[in-house]
Structure 1
């Protein structure tokens, strides 16, 4: 064996002896990193768990499947009074204290349906749903076709008339097919709608928008709703509308409605737009809402309803300020609010007023 071969063999032996030590170091660092990751996850989970949305009285929760008039299924989130002990349940970006599939407590319960905004979900107003259920209401929220998972319907008639039909289908399901339907008082039904959900609730309650006016309005005005309609190549921007898309049938089972930051409010400018609204209406607006400005939306509705409306404004609130409080992890854009605005505190006050409104106007006869 020559000198070069001897040196190479010696180097190989040195490397082999060093490898176990290197492996131990890598293993040690990997273990420390894994431990750190587990600790961080545990801390984050602990913070989210400890800040879970809660209610004064126990609230049950379940997600079921309902079907629309065409037989198409959609998800339905339901909150209701219960006697079961709540636990923390993950709701997509936060925890809420609910008793999953707990027994339904009470009889002759009012029903409140909630219509979320574009890109929303069944938990977009979970804190309001908890507050209403804690006060003795059954709350049902449909997952509309324009939700956070799929917004392809925005440019289609389903975004307008389909939403209203889905709200009706939700009431149908709750009164006839839900396991607790016999515990609901069909004469005590209310509705809450946010953003385009406000439009949905208004049309379900009997308001008649002038959809043919949307194209002209959006030609002469820059507004978030118009930008969204342009981006989706909406049929509303065409010279002629498809037959039937401007017809809305009032659901006379709805006895009181609450509207928050209503979208497409400018479509209700016609003198007869609210002739069929005969129930009490509460209307909410954030005074820093740049997405759905007051003058072209809420004000149009406020002026049209006149004495029928209980108008409420929230100082420093933007459009997204009406969505469920995000908790400690405010990662999504929907969690951002104008400066000096405390969403959790504002919602505490707002939810109480909404609860009081429904309690007053959905009294048992």
Structure 2
């Protein structure tokens, strides 16, 4: 019996390791009394892939193909401030190849071309929940998704978004003191650029928690200090936390390190010599022309993402299955 059990486990692992082809499509999730959310969705498929453009990148996917299989876990992705739903396409594609459905949104008013809501950060978790609603109920491939297996991935402001969505309660009144002490930090400079104190609502939206999220990956989270001292005490799900050792955008110990102090049981990774933007997909030549500051690497970002994506896939497989 032990031999049969061992063989079954080996076969199960072999099945998990088999990489699927990756399907891809864009979608739009309606939002009551607001603009719809632009989505990019990756998923397992049996259709052949081909190279297609995605924003300033090129990816190998089967555009518009039918999803293959059922019961896939869902991972939703929240981008950093001024970003978009293509920013982590390589991580999304790695997850889809491993058997996940992945949906990345573009947060309304927090993109390169529209920064009108960049400081209204507590509104973001509700948008993440809307994506979960859409993909599990309204998306044409929703039957392929297991609504009981949902994870979230967030980078920078997206990391804050995910921490808030999984139970975090930030105290944004700490931002004024933080910026008085560190006026040169990126978040403080952004606040001044967008209109100083007026850019931050006097009564920020209440954070929308989503108990459907069962596991989270958080990379270089923004405003980590705002969760101290007890703002993450209700987070009870597995968390994988990432910090760039030489993060000059969100320098330590105020961001990822602060979160680690509040979530000491999180699976914690510090990437040697890495900078903030190294968690974004490796830069294309087109992106390097448009946003060179995002593409200045101290490390080999392509090599790092092989390990990074593998660790993200492994974590979600362990916590959600696939």
Name the TM-score, length of structure 2 as normaliser: 0.89
Tell me by how many angstroms 1:310 deviates: 0.5
Name the residue aligned to 1:12: none
Mark the structure with the bigger radius of gyration.
1
- Separation of aligned partners in 2, 1:204 and 1:335: 27
* C-alpha spacing 1:97/1:338, structure 2 compared with 1 (3 Å): closer
Give the SS at the match of 1:112.
strand
Name the residue aligned to 1:177: 138
Give the SS at the match of 1:252.
coil
Contact 1:211 1:246 in 2 (8 A): no
1:1-365 aligned within 5 A: 56-145=19-108, 146-155=110-119, 157=120, 160-222=121-183, 223-235=185-197, 242-243=202-203, 245=204, 247-270=206-229, 272-307=230-265, 309-328=266-285, 330-331=288-289, 332-339=291-298, 341-363=299-321
* C-alpha spacing 1:219/1:163, structure 2 compared with 1 (3 Å): same
Give the SS at the match of 1:169.
helix
- Separation of aligned partners in 1, 2:176 and 2:157: 17
Contact 1:215 1:236 in 2 (8 A): no
Tell me by how many angstroms 1:284 deviates: 0.4
Cα RMSD over matched residues?
A: 1.8
- Separation of aligned partners in 1, 2:196 and 2:150: 32
Gaps (5+ residues) in structure 2? 1-17
Gaps (5+ residues) in structure 1? 1-54
Tell me by how many angstroms 1:265 deviates: 1.0
- Separation of aligned partners in 2, 1:315 and 1:327: 23
Q: Which runs of 4+ in 1 moved over 4 A?
A: 234-238
Tell me by how many angstroms 1:274 deviates: 1.1
Give the SS at the match of 2:263.
helix
- Separation of aligned partners in 1, 2:280 and 2:251: 17
* C-alpha spacing 1:103/1:209, structure 2 compared with 1 (3 Å): same
- Separation of aligned partners in 2, 1:212 and 1:198: 19
Tell me by how many angstroms 1:69 deviates: 4.3
- Separation of aligned partners in 1, 2:321 and 2:55: 34
- Separation of aligned partners in 2, 1:56 and 1:225: 39
Q: Report the count of equivalent residues.
A: 301
Tell me by how many angstroms 1:337 deviates: 3.0
- Separation of aligned partners in 1, 2:46 and 2:195: 49
Structure number with the higher helix fraction is: 1
